[in-house]
Structure 1
């Protein structure tokens, strides 16, 4: 506890020297002639949100830690209380690469030399700008040591505080990789929280397309850096770049993406326990992902499960809110007529739109323009042994070709609150009739002959029955009998 308080005081003093000796001096008219042109109007780039960090520690956090000197069991609560404020470090670390580039351009200027001389600092400014990054890392080390010595009162809060700091460090690390993504035309901030990122070997299996590309993709892996967001999974190619003789910095060239609302997951792949699959559209395209270790695989599978489970719950909630009970009280033929009228009127409130019942040809926005993801042959490595091949091998490509593509198997027991929605049991078969808004489908139960709306995300193409029965673990269900889950669209880029 003594070390934590003493180092906190020293840290605040160092931040103060930076603010007063460099940051404020940029407004000193007597030194303005020494400021390099490359630094003009770029103070926020060089220092980032350092003023916010200094204010937080100087006015708040240092004092609260000092108050724990006689009661170290309260230090965990102190960190938990300031959980949100500590996230200022995420923004600072995200800006750090830009700051370093600017420093390399102007760090040897007379302005900084004069400031350093006045402060009598042995180290230049760039060493002090690294202090916040070092500090947030130091917190986790000290909390770990305190946790080892802590027994009883306050230990639970210490564990939670350590988890909070580790989560901030993880977010900082992830964000440092995220800002290096290039070629993605969308807005990364709209994809939700960045949950995971890491490098993997990836095999692809496309049931449609040129057979040569299909074979090449299946048997040779590509090295890809994956970014998992709440709403999307990005596949990027990692590139190492050297900047003006300095150490290599990674960049990530965007290759393609999968909407998380459109994917399913198979947790185990035959031949290698470190592999798992991400797939969509009745396994028309499958991405076999090999993690560097079982721990990494388990973390990714767990996080993907959470995303899919959350989306299923959101889908269920939307179905209860969007469709008033009196809309679909009539027989099925009236529902279809209403759908046709709404489709012809092109009203934005249209509940249904006509579609082809085939799961592989449903009309989606931009579907006709969909391309296979780009594959760089220079990334391919050696062909894996037969024991490593994924369970979705070539003999499965032709399985159940004669199956009815408009029939679906229910993945999860569905017990709706709305009267127009259909109650279904896991494993039950249904006939696709119409596609509605908000991920809802109008289906007919082949068991009860009843008709109603259900979330499309709980259905799996019956033509994939053999593959479904071979899957190892569920993506959404907590029961052993439910072995896979699927949605059906993909967003890709070159």
Structure 2
């Protein structure tokens, strides 16, 4: 579904690409946006990792014989892939930031506005299809959780989970919404980054188009 949307965006000359507003301050602003992209990705990755360690793994251990494997796969099946993809993004964006900067007198100085963000997204484009699968299963996952919430054993177990400091009183539904929201955040940050590019960055433009297509496809999946 998202491939079809992307194909339409790639062929549409009217697709709105942010106009570059390059200035003497563009390098610093691009660096700030990439820093935010990395910082929010690290937070997101930590969120997914905590979800797996404190909820998914203990849940499977406690309830794997009480619920259908199909239900468990619907709720948790794509989280490991999302963790792997996010880990790769964090690693590559760390390298991109390091290449952009140098230190002098204890201060971080920005070399230029060149970066590897668009290339990273394009290199991993096929990996992002996991988000469409996740969106397709999201509504089903909510129904599975609703059924489980009727069971006293689940209620008791979840109450104990919510008391864990690292979970910050976040339950299953709270964790599961994060991947749905993440693609929208990518779109906003990449759009801002494009405004401070030095000339055309074809890879960043393609990344922006496929992220927009992905966001639209995920939204459509949830309405089916």
TM-score between the two structures when normalised by the length of structure 2: 0.69
| Residue 150 (structure 1) aligned with residue 197 (structure 2) | yes
Radius of gyration: which is bigger? Answer: 1
The residue number in structure 1 matching 2:132 is 90
The aligned counterpart of 1:2 is: 35
Q: Within the alignment, does 1:139 sit opposite 2:186 as a pair?
A: yes
- Cα offsets for 1:397-446 (capped at 9, x unmatched): xxxxxxxxxxxxxxxxxxxxxxxxxxxxxxxxxxxxxxxxxxxxxxxxxx
Matched residue count: 171
The separation in 2 between residues aligned to 1:27 and 1:171, in whole angstroms, is 30
Q: Does structure 2 retain, via aligned residues, the 8 Å contact 1:48–1:95?
A: no
C-alpha displacement of 1:135: 0.6
Whose helix proportion is higher, 1 or 2? 2
SS of the residue aligned with 1:73?
coil
**Corresponding residue for residue 12 of structure 1:** 45
Q: What is the CA-CA distance between 1:40 and the residue it aligns to?
A: 4.2
* Equivalent residue, structure 1, for 2:173: 126
Q: How big is the shift at 1:129?
A: 0.7
Q: Distance in 2 between matches of 1:81 and 1:47?
A: 26
1:117 corresponds to which of 147, 154, 163: 163
SS of residue in 2 equivalent to 1:176: helix
Offset at residue 161 of structure 1 (A): 1.1
Query: Quick one: structure 1 residues 36 and 106, their matched pair in 2 at CA, closer, same or farther if it must change by over 3 Å?
Result: farther
Question: 5+ residue gaps in structure 2?
Answer: 1-33, 101-113
Change (3 A) 1:96 1:48: farther
Q: In the TM superposition, what is the alpha-carbon distance from 1:4 to its structure 2 partner?
A: 0.2
| CA deviation after TM superposition for structure 1 residue 104, in Å | 1.7
Q: Deviations over 1:348-391 (max 9, x none)?
A: xxxxxxxxxxxxxxxxxxxxxxxxxxxxxxxxxxxxxxxxxxxx
* TM-align CA RMSD: 2.1
CA distance in 1, matches of 2:167, 2:35: 28
CA distance in 2, matches of 1:98, 1:67: 38
Distance 2:146 2:159 in 1: 14
User: Does residue 209 of structure 2 align to residue 163 of structure 1?
Assistant: yes
| Paired residues of 2:50 and 2:167 also in contact (CA < 8 A) | no
Which protein has the bigger strand share? 1
Alpha-carbon spacing, 1:120–1:79, altered in 2? closer, same or farther (3 Å): closer
Per the TM alignment, residue 173 of structure 1 is displaced from its structure 2 partner at its CA by 2.6
How far is the alpha carbon of 1:122 from its aligned partner? 2.6
1:174 Cα shift?
3.0
Q: Following TM superposition, where does structure 1 have runs of at least 4 consecutive aligned residues deviating by more than 4 angstroms?
A: none
Where does 1:344-355 land on structure 2 (aligned, <5 Å)?
none
Question: For the Cα contact (< 8 Å) 2:118–2:203, is it kept in 1?
Answer: yes
**Which residue in the other structure is 2:147 paired with?**
105
* Separation (CA, whole Å) in 1 of partners of 2:203 and 2:162: 41
Q: State the Cα deviation string for residues 182-226 of structure 1 (Å, max 9, x = none).
A: xxxxxxxxxxxxxxxxxxxxxxxxxxxxxxxxxxxxxxxxxxxxx
Q: State yes or no: 1:75 paired with 2:114.
A: no
Gaps of 5+ in 1: 181-494
Task: Report the Cα offset of residue 171 of structure 1.
Answer: 2.2
Larger RCO (CA within 8 A; separation ≥ 6): 2
